[in-house]
Amino acid sequence: MDRASLYSRYNGLQKTDASFVVDNYLRLVKWRSDEVVLDVGSGDGDVLFDVLLPEIPHDFAKLVGTDVSEEMVDFARSRYKSDKIDFVALDISSASILPEFHDFFDHIFSFYCLHWVVEQRQAMKNMFDMLKPGGEILVTFLASNPIYDVYERMAKSNKWCSYMTNLKRYISPYHHSENPETELEDILKKEGFLIRVCRMEDRTYTFPSFSVMAKSAEAVNPFIKKIPENEIGNYIEDYLNEVKNLETITIETTNNDNNNNEEKIHVPYKLFVAVASKPV
Ligand SMILES: C[S@@+](CC[C@H](N)C(=O)[O-])C[C@H]1O[C@@H](n2cnc3c(N)ncnc32)[C@H](O)[C@@H]1O
């Protein structure tokens, strides 16, 4: 995912969920002073800056946003300049993290990133290793979403299958789990975390129109970069048709002031929220 500028215009869903999680779960986090804070998968930096920063104590020592995408890191760095805030490239699933980040952070946050990570154990291990003893994580990411069903259907079609390869990498590892909460809980426990909360929230996001939904999809769709420029419009059209075919997604048609039909798209999905700490 690296279309930073498009993402920053069409991240309404992600920002809404980040606000929901901060509003409802940040109170569980214990703060001291001079804390060092990490945001994993900080993307364009919007959530870090607009949602997280206003809600954390102002006397933190350092806030580091990290992302696997250099484009995202550069974009965030160019927009949000501050002595106490920095953005660096880091793959949270990498086999070895920077030694200087070991036992370094008091708090690790992550919004809408970890469903991109197949190597869940490695990511959780890395976060555990990067925390100071007594440090805490607050992470939120997709457990499942009907959009993954759209990917699966399209990947089976002759038209798009050659572009939609390696599908498993781009679907939440829990999308087909029978008991996702237990699975995540087990991983966190095995990596040594003490769990305060590990649950799935039932959420619904309403896209105000199909054109906004199309742009939002384009901003995060991992296959688009493989599709020839002149085929992208066609791909998005098929994507929206598959959305219309899904029973889980509801389309509400209303009449606006100009007597035109407007279609809102209600997408239900499940969002993990986990709060856990590293033992002292
Ligand atoms: C949907 S964006 C979320 C950005 C931001 N946290 C937000 O809530 O708007 C997901 C971000 O996770 C990043 N990402 C994906 N895999 C990652 C990995 N293995 N390590 C670090 N970041 C990753 C992507 O590059 C992308 O910027």
* Residue whose CA is at the smallest distance from ligand 1 atom 27: 43
What pLDDT digit, counting tens, does each position of 227-256 carry?
999 999 999 999 999 999 999 999 998 887
Q: How many A from CA of 102 to the centre of ligand 1?
A: 21
The amino acid at residue 21 is V
Which atom, in ligand 1's list, is nearest to the CA of 91?
20
What is the average per-residue pLDDT within 85-91?
Answer: 96
Domains assigned to the chain? 4-277 (3.40.50.150)
Please give the share of the chain, as a percent, with pLDDT higher than 90: 88
Q: Phi first, then psi: what are they for 264, rounded to 5°?
A: -105, 145
What pLDDT digit, counting tens, does each position of 152-161 carry?
999 999 999 9
Is the shortest distance between the CB of 117 and ligand 1 below 6 Å?
A: yes
Conformation bin of residue 15: beta by default, left when phi > 0, alpha when psi is -120 to 50 = alpha
**Cβ-contact 144, 179 below 8 angstroms:** no
Q: Write down the pLDDT at residue 258.
A: 74
pLDDT reading at 1 higher than 60: no
What pLDDT digit, counting tens, does each position of 188-224 carry?
999 999 999 999 999 999 999 999 999 999 999 999 9
Q: Write down the pLDDT at residue 2.
A: 59
Average pLDDT value for the chain:
95
* Residue whose CA is at the smallest distance from ligand 1 atom 1: 112
